Chain A
């Protein structure tokens, strides 16, 4: 059954039960988590069950798509739809991070200076906290979370920057291998990328432990701790997702999936990886360095 590249017909997938399973999974997860936050005992178990259902859905749904794709069911138009889909999904992720970067810039450029007495008619400083000065990093005039030290840029974070940037190189190298149909080249490129991604996550974990135990820098350390951990935390979560995607690509590459002309899944994972890379550069510059 040939891959009908220039088919004049449209392709529609058959119905699927995975979306409704996904809805049930996500709802169970979120209801469970809400109950947990409200201190209801069974919340944790419910959240866990929801997570399991969601993971099963992801396996099942992507499994179906991979099978169909390998059977040559998709034509070029479907391929283009997938491309647009992934592109706009990544754009939505960019905007998610933009919200948190916005919070960081607002705190650094507006709210902390105002609390420090800058601006016309800003009375908070003189009325409430006259001793507070506008410096960054800060945990605010109330010193929320107690004395802390900031995370320096030129230790682990700089090494992590180098790691992520080189993983961007290895994934491109793997892509070259795929396009030239050199299977080993592809597999080693992917393996190196996954390894570098995991190393990054390992260092990130060490950094968090260091922050919590030695710097007294926590999620609850005022606005610096909030922006630091929410930005790097969501980034770390995205690195984890990206690394899992690349790991799946590695397994598929070993299994013999993908052809030099037909490997959208690989490209999607690579795009995602580059997106995660670029977000890290923003983090390194604005959260750690400046």
Chain B
């Protein structure tokens, strides 16, 4: 009775600005998240192009060194907290209720708040660029004592991180409550689509680590303004303590940025290989193992800081262990495609690109896990190449793949396949042009986060800059394709893809405002 009442109340489709401001609808909120991520993607990308423009030639020509440093710092903060995380949360909002057979997220009002904190947080963060002393420039990791020399910006940066954390924690609580409590009858845990599984584990990681980051930056704040000595050796503290607390958050965070990507790829590959996912349960266990291991590897970010030998050894071996569950995943994706009836629509191209290039990033990660070898690589362009391989052709490619894959479901229109494929090839060529040479200049010793460099690095840096501008402009094509599809296009069928399975494909394209008003039966 009451439920029906609530539904009647909701049938009037809200209009105008208040629809978006007051919404409790998972699709509206998902759309908001995805558009925020898209806008931030271009802002963060613009910053990357400033960095690459400066590095086109040795010497200083485009920007001041201080501004260069705040560009590297802001680029990272925006791409991590403003692009990849909101994009995944947007996907979670759109897809999880449809995939588990629910009508909406478990806590819809809190869902609204998780999103509407973010525009405020990012306005606060970006506005620091205009303040006395400029934006934060000590790297996104905010290591003290350097970060404590930030000017007026410091408290604004810290509080914007608090707000982002608040948003992530609320978003994650919502995801977990939805998955644990809103599944349709018969949708047992081991029947859930892998995207739902990876998000369940991601949400757990976020709830466990975001508060730790909040604690770490709070200590920075009190060290700067209230005279505490957490990171001050004269008072008995230790600057390295910050690195430990930060990376206790930071390493699970790395998997926050990649586990949902694994989920997306695990949805796409079976559809276009027209075979069920190979080794479903091993995928679930591998994801859980990666999450567990992520809590005991953090100090591999700190091999050169001067830890006791036992620490170096422990973190080296645990880090190498991660290659095992990750290898299981890559093996399973390849095995799914083995002897499948494959077709290569745009989402599949991006998914295969993901597997190839994410694996390159995985292997360079394995190289750096070896402590003595890392002494050579640490803080060079090799690490920059590594994490950009796992984040750009990794996380970002998976997000783009997801958008192409589900956009027909969301909008009811097919995107332009020809342009989609062009977008894929441009992105793939340019992303490799950008990041592959960084391996070489990194091994040759070019340090990261420095606006100037020695003459022997010129050629590879110029190739990287050309690649970066090519990749950046190729994304304008993506923007065009998405907007074109939202506005119209060939009508999509309900199933959209011949080989697609799962509850979301049983709904109309576009799906009704409330996905499942009564729970579907899952056999």
- Residues of chain A whose beta carbon lies under 8 Å from any beta carbon of chain B: 1-4, 7-20, 22-24, 26-27, 30-31, 33-34, 37-38, 61, 72-75, 77, 80-82, 84-85, 88-89, 91-93, 95-96, 98-100, 102-103, 106-107, 110-112, 114-115, 119-121, 124, 138-142, 144-145, 218-220, 222-227, 229-230
Q: Does B102 contact A (CB under 8 A)?
A: yes
Contact flags B382-399 to A (C-beta < 8 A → 1, else 0): 000000000000000000
Q: How far, in whole Å, are A9 and B6 apart by their CA atoms in the complex?
A: 10
Q: Chain A residues near B166: list those with CB within 8 A.
A: 26
Q: Which of B23, B108, B163, B229 contacts A27 (CB 8 A)?
A: B163
**Any A CB within 8 A of the CB of B248:** yes
Taking a contact as CB atoms under 8 Å apart, the answer to whether A16 and B22 are in contact is yes
Q: Which residues from A are CB-within-8-Å of B232?
A: 140, 142, 144, 223
**B237→A140 contact, CB < 8 A:** yes
A9 with B7: CB separation less than 8 A: yes
**A–B complex contacts, Cβ < 8 Å, 11 sampled:** A2-B1, A11-B2, A15-B23, A16-B22, A20-B116, A75-B2, A75-B3, A84-B173, A138-B236, A223-B237, A227-B230
Known: A31-B124, A141-B233. A219 touches B222 (CB 8 A): yes
A226 and B108 contact, Cβ closer than 8 Å, known pairs A37-B155, A92-B211, A139-B236? no
| Residues of the B chain whose Cβ atoms lie less than 8 Å from the Cβ of A18 | 109, 113
User: Smallest CB–CB gap between A102 and chain B, Å?
Assistant: 6
Residues of B within 8 A of A218 (CB): 227
Contact A30 B162 (CB under 8 A): yes
Residues of A close to B379: CB separation below 8 A: none
Which of B437-445, B464-472, B485-493, B512-520 contacts the other chain?
Answer: B512-520
Residue B104 at the chain A interface, CB threshold 8 Å: yes
Distance between A98 CB and nearest chain B CB, rounded to angstroms: 7
Which listed segment binds A: B213-221, B283-291, B346-354, B501-509? B213-221
Given contacts A72-B2, A95-B208, contact A33 B24 (CB under 8 A): no
Contact of B238 with A107 in the complex, beta carbons under 8 Å = yes
Question: Which residues of the partner chain B approach A61 to less than 8 Å between Cβ atoms?
Answer: 109
| A121 neighbours in B (Cβ, 8 Å) | 306
In the assembled complex, B476 has its CB within 8 A of some CB on chain A: no
Kindly state whether residue B120 has any CB partner on chain A within 8 Å: yes
Give complex CA distance A12, B180 in Å. Answer: 17
Question: Shortest CB–CB separation between residue A34 and chain B, in angstroms?
Answer: 4
Q: Is B455 an interface residue (CB 8 A)?
A: no
Contact A81 B230 (CB under 8 A): no
Query: What's the Cα separation between A80 and B181 when bound, in Å?
Result: 7
CB distance from A223 to the nearest CB of B (A): 4
Tell me if B107 and A96 are in contact (CB < 8 A). no
B12-24 CB contact bits vs A (8 Å, 1 = yes)?
A: 0010001001111
Contact A1 B230, CB 8 Å, known A16-B22, A81-B106, A119-B308 = no
A20 and B21 form a contact (CB under 8 A): yes
Given the known interface contacts A10-B102, A15-B14, A96-B211, the answer about A115 and B155 at a Cβ–Cβ threshold of 8 Å is: no
Query: Contacts A120-B308, A230-B222 given: A106-B241 contact, CB under 8 Å?
Result: yes
Partner of B152, one of A38, A102, A110, A145: A38
**Which residues of chain A are near B218, meaning CB under 8 Å?**
230
Task: State how many angstroms separate the Cβ of B321 from the closest Cβ of chain A.
Answer: 23
What 10 pairs across the A-B complex have the smallest Cβ distances? A142-B234, A99-B215, A220-B227, A140-B236, A9-B3, A223-B236, A19-B113, A15-B22, A226-B228, A34-B155
Q: Which of B14, B103, B176, B209 contacts A10, CB < 8 Å?
A: B103
Asked whether B22 lies within 8 Å of A20 as measured between CB atoms, the reply is yes
The yes or no answer to B10 lying at the interface (CB within 8 A) is yes
Chain B residues whose CB sits within 8 angstroms of the CB of A93 once the complex forms: 211
Interface centre among A89, A121, A226 (most CB of B within 10 A): A226
The verdict on B159 contacting chain A, using a C-beta distance below 8 Å, is: yes
* Binding site secondary structure of chain B: helix
| CB–CB B234/A92 < 8 A | no
A144 and B235 contact, CB distance less than 8 A:
yes
Known: A12-B7, A14-B6, A85-B173. A107 touches B233 (CB 8 A): no
Interface size on B, residues (CB 8 A): 87
Q: Which residues of B contact A222 (CB under 8 A)?
A: 229, 235-237
* Chain A at the B interface: SS class: helix
Contacts of B60 in A (CB 8 A): none
Q: Which residues of A contact B523 (CB under 8 A)?
A: none
Chain B, residue nearest A24 (CB) = B120
* Closest partner residue, chain B, to A64 (CB atom): B109
Give, as a whole number of angstroms, the nearest-CB distance from A103 to chain B: 6
Separation in Å of the B1 CB from the closest CB of chain A?
Answer: 5
Nearest CB on A from B160, distance (A):
8
State A81–B111 Cα separation when bound (angstroms): 13
Residues of chain B within 8 A of A22, CB atoms compared: 113, 117
Interface pair B228/A14, CB less than 8 Å apart: no
B227-253 near A? 1/0 per residue, CB < 8 Å: 111101111111011001100100000
B4 within 8 A of A: yes
Q: In the complex the two chains form, is B176's CB within 8 Å of A84's CB?
A: yes
Q: With A80-B181, A140-B234, A222-B235 known to touch, is A88 a contact of B155 (CB < 8 Å)?
A: no
B169 interface hit (Cβ, 8 Å): yes
Nearest CB on B from A139, distance (A) = 6
Interface positions, chain B 164-212, Cβ under 8 Å from A, are 166, 169, 172-174, 176-178, 180-182, 207-212
Cβ contact of A230, chosen from B1, B120, B219, cutoff 8 A: B219
Inter-chain CA distance A227–B519, complex, in Å, is 51
Bitwise, B120-153 to A at CB < 8 A (1) or not (0) is 1100100000000000000000000000000010
The answer to whether B518 touches A111, judged by C-beta atoms less than 8 angstroms apart, is: no
- Please state if A88 and B177 are interface contacts (CB–CB under 8 Å): yes
Cβ distance A265 to chain B, nearest Cβ, rounded Å: 15
Residue numbers in B under 8 Å from A102 (CB-CB): 212, 244-245, 248
Q: Select one of A16, A31, A223 contacting B229, CB under 8 A.
A: A223
B298-309 CB mask vs A (1 if < 8 Å, else 0) is: 000000001011
Contacting pair A220 B228 (CB below 8 A): yes
* Distance (whole angstroms) from the CB of B209 to the closest CB of chain A: 7
Could you say which residues of chain B place their CB within 8 Å of the CB of A91?
Answer: 207-208
Inter-subunit contact A34/B182 (CB<8 Å)? no
Are A17 and B233 in contact, CB atoms less than 8 angstroms apart?
no
Residue of A nearest to B21 (CB): A20
A142 adjacent to B7 (CB under 8 Å):
no
Selected from A27, A75, A141, the residue in CB contact (under 8 A) with B234 is: A141
Name the CB-closest residue of A to B97.
A10
Asked whether B207 lies within 8 Å of A88 as measured between CB atoms, the reply is yes
Query: A144 touches which one: B2, B116, B229, B519 (CB < 8 A)?
Result: B229
Interfacial chain A residues near B518, Cβ < 8 Å:
8-10
Whether the pair A115, B229 counts as a contact (CB closer than 8 A) is no
Q: Which residues of A contact B109 (CB under 8 A)?
A: 13, 16, 18-19, 61
CB atoms of A99 and B229 under 8 A apart: no
Docked-complex contact B233 and A88, CB < 8 angstroms: no
Seed contacts A16-B24, A33-B155, A91-B207; 7 additional CB < 8 Å A-B pairs: A9-B518, A19-B110, A30-B162, A84-B106, A96-B212, A225-B229, A226-B222
